[in-house]
Structure 1
Amino acid sequence: MQRRDAIKTGFSLVGLLAAGSFVYKEYANAKPVLKLRPPAALDEDEFLTRCIRCGLCVEACPFDTLKLAEFKDSGVGIGTPFFTPRDIPCYMCEDIPCVVECPTEALDPKLVTKDGALDINMAKMGVAVVDEKNCVAYFGIQCDACYRACPLIDKALWIDYKRNERTGKHAFLLPIVDSDYCTGCGKCEIACITDKAAITVLPRDMVIGKVGDNYVKGWVEGDDAKLKDVDTKMHLDSKKGIKYLNEDEL
């Protein structure tokens, strides 16, 4: 009986080792995933705290855009919802069912509500970035696939027309993204004609900079309010000046 138990224990250990080896291999080979959360997701730390991994938002999505992160999806948070625009973008449902179904407000309706009604155009899932080196429009080829795909055409994505100095005959149709309006839906990315998309949606915290309060846009009404408590007077120390003039090196 003891021998039989020992054999069973041995097989169990072998099974556990094999399973552990498989899990480790999956983890070691996992590729980092750029997290694009559903519309109205809270800031990442707060989102991860509130999300209970229920999957209701995934079930509510009519386009199968959202999926729950698996072990292989490195850096996302197992069981949390995200999407990959090049596979399936967010199709900007007006009723935003994924947000409505969230039981914990990890997807916060207030972030996509305007004048008391849901407004998907307020979503900030990410922001599109153009790779000018590989976008064929910057070669001089007249491609506007991403521009035509944008649900906020001429606001989130517009075309800058420039003369092609190389040929002297054609114009460049250059896609320009306005991060103030871009929702990060990814419809531009899936529409891109290049083998690997030359316009890519990235998480906003990776792309959007912060200029700092010491810069003022004089042409923007109210922006000079930043200077209200700032001391703009020069404070000179005459003693330091005298000491400098009396140094041996001079």
Structure 2
Amino acid sequence: MGVIMNFSKYVPYAAAALFGVQAVSLIVRPTDEIVRPPGAQGERDFSSRCVKCGRCVQACPYAAIVPACQNAGSAVGSPTLDLRNQACRLCRDFPCIEACPTDALRDVSAIEDVDMGYAVVNEDLCIALQGMRCEVCYRACPLIDRAITIDYRLREGDSIHSVFAPIIDQDQCVGCGLCVERCVVDEPEVAIKVVCGEDARDA
């Protein structure tokens, strides 16, 4: 019997993938970056190993992993995350990795081993940098005071308002996207995003 998941929040770009005997129909919003599940070892390695079987999609207890939509080119149907809708919860037992039959997801025994990318703050959109108190991304971070810290300082040229600036440590951030999901800024776009892809940390 088919299992149908319909994410009505997304704009109508449909991607259908056949996972064993279960057909899963998903509507996935197009994204600038394809964020891979925990255990991916770079885009080239992942793409060469992933057979788009959908087992990691089925294994994720939070339905955070979804097939890439039809505008993803050759990556269509492969597992990705829409962090704004549902970030990775960094499960301690990593069921997505356990379910992968081809080692496209591998070599993770602790949260610190995950490397999905790293967060980047848009300084023009972040309300904390405009003098409004906001620590949402900081409080959402599972590696609080390591991946994200807060720089408290007076706003330049303003003796009244303080700045609560989020500072990302790229070496500590694992790219789970909880900061992206929780960001209070939504127009014209979210104020924080995860940079990923091949050799992202060397970019």
TM over 0.5: yes
Conserved? CA contact 1:69–1:76, under 8 Å: no
- The answer to whether 1:158 aligns with 2:156 is no
If the length of structure 1 is used for normalisation, what is the TM-score? Answer: 0.65
User: Equivalents in 2 of 1:137, 1:162: separation in Å?
Assistant: 11
Shift, 1:47, TM fit: 1.2
Give the equivalent residue in structure 2 for 1:85: 83
The residue correspondences of 1:69-218 to structure 2 (distance < 5 A) are 69-70=68-69, 72-75=70-73, 77-108=75-106, 110=107, 112=108, 118-195=109-186, 196-203=189-196, 205=198, 207-209=200-202
Shift, 1:206, TM fit: 6.8
Q: Which structure would you say has the larger Rg?
A: 1
State the structure with bigger RCO (CA 8 A, min sep 6), 1 or 2: 2
Structure number with the higher strand fraction is 2
Change (3 A) 1:79 1:31: closer
Shift, 1:183, TM fit: 0.7
Residues 7-62 of structure 1: CA deviation (Å, up to 9, x unaligned)? xxxxxxxxxxxxxxxxxxxxxxx956411000011221221111111100000000
Q: Which amino acid aligns with 2:103?
A: E
Conserved? CA contact 2:34–2:197, under 8 Å: no
Shift, 1:171, TM fit: 1.6
User: Equivalents in 2 of 1:161, 1:32: separation in Å?
Assistant: 33
User: Equivalents in 2 of 1:94, 1:48: separation in Å?
Assistant: 25
Q: Which amino acid aligns with 2:44?
A: D
User: Equivalents in 2 of 1:206, 1:73: separation in Å?
Assistant: 23
Conserved? CA contact 1:127–1:204, under 8 Å: no
Change (3 A) 1:168 1:107: same
Give the equivalent residue in structure 1 for 2:47: 48
Secondary structure at 2:75's aligned position in 1? coil
Q: Which amino acid aligns with 2:101?
A: P
User: Equivalents in 2 of 1:193, 1:86: separation in Å?
Assistant: 11
Shift, 1:167, TM fit: 2.5
Structure 1, gaps ≥5 residues long: 1-29, 113-117, 211-250
User: Equivalents in 2 of 1:177, 1:31: separation in Å?
Assistant: 26
Structure 2, gaps ≥5 residues long: 1-28
Shift, 1:76, TM fit: 5.8
User: Equivalents in 1 of 2:33, 2:159: separation in Å?
Assistant: 41
Structure number with the higher helix fraction is 1
If the length of structure 2 is used for normalisation, what is the TM-score? Answer: 0.79
Give the equivalent residue in structure 2 for 1:4: none
User: Equivalents in 1 of 2:160, 2:193: separation in Å?
Assistant: 30
